Structure 1
Amino acid sequence: MTEKRTVHEYPGNPARPMARILEVEEYSPAFDAGFEPGCIVTAVNGHPLRDMIDWQWYSDGYEVELSYIDLDGDEGTVVLEREEGESWGITFDGAIFDGIRVCRNACMFCFMRMLPKESRDTLMLRDDDWRLSFLQGNFTTLTNLSEEDADEITERHVSPLRVSLHCISPEVRSKMIGRHADHGVRMMEKLLAGGIELYMQIVLLPGVNDGAELMKTLAWAYLHEGIANVGIVPLGFTKHQTAFDKSFNDREAALEVVEAVEAFQKHAMAERGCAWVYLADEFYSNAYPDDLLDHLPPAEHYGAFDMFEDGIGIIRSFVDDWQQQGQAVSELAQVLEDEGVRVYYVFGEAMRETFTPLVEASPLKGLLIPLYVKNEFFGGNVDVTGLLSGVDVARAIRGVSAHDYVVLPRVMFNSDMITLDDMTVDDIRDTAGMPVTVVSCNAYEFLPEIRELVEGY
């Protein structure tokens, strides 16, 4: 390998799949061969390296030939060898190397189409890539899946995949998704026949795919044993559109869904030993606004919490975590009383039915104060903590006494610690005119973090 300058762009043909190396493990086979961060791998054993699935497939063995472009732009090949259990020592910059496959659907409920026009490009990317479904847990419709893709998935047994189902009647699917909707169902059935396990998602729209259509869709899915589970999430909409003005936010609409799905869950529990179909937390908080904690399903209901990232089981997990932290709650309460301060914890409005009764029934009542922030940036029915904007949070905390503390949940920020409206922690501090600190969203972590903040560790 040759020396040593930073690669800012991929050299060569930009249409050629190339995997940029982000890190090289010291004393690994890749390190010994001279690979450095910035070098590019173009092929493995002569096969173009399109994505991490290719890498895992073709590099599975004790010897591998890598085609590369080094930091001077020179191309070559090198053979690496490793011992049993040893890693090649390469971390790539991303999971897809030949370009993310974008969505070709016209989904009537697409959240990306409801974002503010000034949103950054990365938020507007409408990916529909089956590889990201496997590698990162994204949902895909399979409407752009080719026969060759399906054969490759089956041959390599790339499983499970997360698939957006939404509904099953052709006319409803066409209305909801667009003209390629039927192709998606054909691909689902082909993958299922090939032994691929699917996790399904349904975005529920009032008057479109709920009611009888929902029951028909669940019955179709239940008959396919390869469909491991189904998650149902309510329509989310912003103020930056005119097509929707309601979802399942009122009690009656949410309760109707809960009761209908409960009947299906009981059948699945008796026959399969699991609930199989799971509702997003919003359905429960909207159906039982006054006594949510009395009606929330127990942890066993959610099994392995396979759909946690889709907002299914997050409240149950939070409640159970909080209730296991009795000593930490008492210790923090004593510290806050001794210091004569209060701490304001920022939440989206969706957490009101959960956190208020928990903190009100604890020694932290009046000391750890939930600050529920209305989402003006997105508007509509968007109320979850993870979609809070910096500008809304800064506005909400301006009235907090400088003597007290404000903590922000880490889920507000991406991996670069940037909010959805491109604000940093310092931006929020400067706009609000007071200090803020970022803490975990898990009680077992944020309770000691807040204590350390107040005690000045």
Structure 2
Amino acid sequence: RIFAQRLSPLYISVHTTEPVLRTTIMRGRKSPDILASLKRLAAGGIRMHTQIVLCPGINDGQHLVRTIEDLAGLFPAVQSIAVVPVGLTSYRQGLYRLRAFRKSEARRVIASVQQLAARYVRRFRTRLVFPSDELYIQAGMVVPPLSFYEDLPQIENGVGMVAQFLADAKRTRLPSRVPPMRITAVTGVSFAPILRTVLARLRQVPGASVRQITAKNSLFGPSVTVAGLLAVLVIPANALKEDEGIFLDNLKLADMEAAAGVPIRTVNTFSDLVGLLKTPGMHLRKRSTL
């Protein structure tokens, strides 16, 4: 069907090209030889964007190098490789024991990936392999500029999102002033330090009162208790299922808005946020005393 309908490009989670290790990662389920499958797709003219979810002590180190080199051997059919650290929830009872990367480990991964990418730039004229934004954050390193990510082939896997947001913030012109308005921006722990630096610019606009909330373990966290202090609540658009207005726990945006008692708006970029400041009807009105 893939060949008949020319379903290309495909986005494929590889994790490792070593059959025995891949069986371990898949919790003992014998899986097809992924490299053989990728070679077949490449021979059939199918283009692929691949992802490696990296688990410390399992598929990193030389295992990672081998996987990247195997995938690079299929260029140009394999058009990009994302290296993403494993994401862990609190609900891991009965699951394989995993942990997050330590800062030093994340830095070693980035150094290894960058060494290979430098070789591919000379060989293929593309970096081909990209560490995810989360890997840079875990390493405590500055995220590269937008140009580093070429044409953003792995943006959906969180590769280049931070650079894109910062580049948009840098080129967005701020209004000289706005009518009085309060905005509260909600973000996750990883992005909080980055958003904080950007919101500092918005606070310089006369009339704009901008607050940031970092959500921990739940969307709002314990710090939001008085809805009357808010005028507009802003959340990232990618917190919702695309075009559905529903969160991953099936809570509807409309229901959250009703519970909060204030308008809730989603944004993708810094310019979207600035646009809210200019939107008629979003500003503070005089309230009657109850």
Q: Same fold (TM over 0.5)?
A: yes
User: CA 1:403/1:344 → structure 2, altered by over 3 Å: closer, same or farther?
Assistant: closer
Deviation at 1:190, TM superposition (A): 1.6
Q: What's the secondary structure of 2:235's corresponding residue?
A: strand
Q: What's the secondary structure of 1:238's corresponding residue?
A: coil
Identity of aligned pairs, percent?
Answer: 22
Q: What's the secondary structure of 1:201's corresponding residue?
A: strand
Deviations 1:239-276 (A, max 9, x none): 1213345222x322221111111111111112211110
Query: Is 2:182–2:284's contact at 8 Å kept on the other side of the alignment?
Result: no
Q: Does residue 263 in structure 1 map to residue 115 in structure 2?
A: yes
| Counterpart amino acid of residue 223 in structure 1 | G
Deviation at 1:430, TM superposition (A): 4.5
Q: Does residue 342 in structure 1 map to residue 193 in structure 2?
A: no
Alignment match, 1:435? 262
User: CA 1:448/1:157 → structure 2, altered by over 3 Å: closer, same or farther?
Assistant: closer
| Counterpart amino acid of residue 83 in structure 2 | I
Q: TM-score, normalised by structure 1?
A: 0.56
**Equivalent residue pairs, number:** 276
1:411 and 1:189 map into 2 onto residues whose CA distance is: 33
Q: What's the secondary structure of 2:53's corresponding residue?
A: strand
Alignment match, 1:171? 20
Q: Does residue 228 in structure 1 map to residue 75 in structure 2?
A: no
1:197 and 1:298 map into 2 onto residues whose CA distance is: 26
Q: Does residue 412 in structure 1 map to residue 239 in structure 2?
A: yes
Deviation at 1:280, TM superposition (A): 1.2
Which of these residues, 219, 225, 229, is aligned with residue 402 of structure 1?
229
| Counterpart amino acid of residue 153 in structure 1 | I
Query: Is 2:168–2:270's contact at 8 Å kept on the other side of the alignment?
Result: yes
Q: What's the secondary structure of 2:191's corresponding residue?
A: helix
Query: Is 1:236–1:247's contact at 8 Å kept on the other side of the alignment?
Result: yes
1:454 and 1:420 map into 2 onto residues whose CA distance is: 27
Deviation at 1:370, TM superposition (A): 1.9
2:121 and 2:210 map into 1 onto residues whose CA distance is: 39
- 1:415-426 to 2 correspondences below 5 Å: 415-426=243-254
Structure exhibiting the larger radius of gyration computed from Cα positions: 1
| Counterpart amino acid of residue 100 in structure 2 | S
Deviations 1:46-74 (A, max 9, x none): xxxxxxxxxxxxxxxxxxxxxxxxxxxxx
Deviations 1:207-230 (A, max 9, x none): 110011000111111122221111
Q: TM-score, normalised by structure 2?
A: 0.85
Q: Does residue 311 in structure 1 map to residue 158 in structure 2?
A: yes
| Counterpart amino acid of residue 448 in structure 1 | G
User: CA 1:402/1:424 → structure 2, altered by over 3 Å: closer, same or farther?
Assistant: same
Alignment match, 1:375? 217
Alignment match, 1:185? 35
Deviations 1:323-348 (A, max 9, x none): 111x32x44xx22xx52x53211111
| Counterpart amino acid of residue 184 in structure 1 | I
State the Cα RMSD in Å: 2.5
Q: What's the secondary structure of 1:369's corresponding residue?
A: strand
Query: Is 1:167–1:209's contact at 8 Å kept on the other side of the alignment?
Result: yes
- 1:199-278 to 2 correspondences below 5 Å: 199-225=49-75, 226-242=77-93, 243-244=96-97, 246-248=99-101, 250-278=102-130
| Counterpart amino acid of residue 283 in structure 1 | L
Unaligned runs of 5+ in 2: 286-290
Deviation at 1:363, TM superposition (A): 4.8
Deviation at 1:203, TM superposition (A): 0.8
| Counterpart amino acid of residue 416 in structure 1 | E
Alignment match, 2:136? 284
Q: Does residue 300 in structure 1 map to residue 147 in structure 2?
A: yes
Q: What's the secondary structure of 1:240's corresponding residue?
A: coil
Q: Does residue 322 in structure 1 map to residue 169 in structure 2?
A: yes
Q: What's the secondary structure of 1:454's corresponding residue?
A: coil
Deviation at 1:157, TM superposition (A): 3.9
Determine which structure has greater relative contact order: mean sequence separation of CA pairs < 8 Å that are 6+ residues apart, divided by chain length: 2
User: CA 1:282/1:394 → structure 2, altered by over 3 Å: closer, same or farther?
Assistant: closer
| Counterpart amino acid of residue 245 in structure 2 | M
| Counterpart amino acid of residue 172 in structure 1 | L
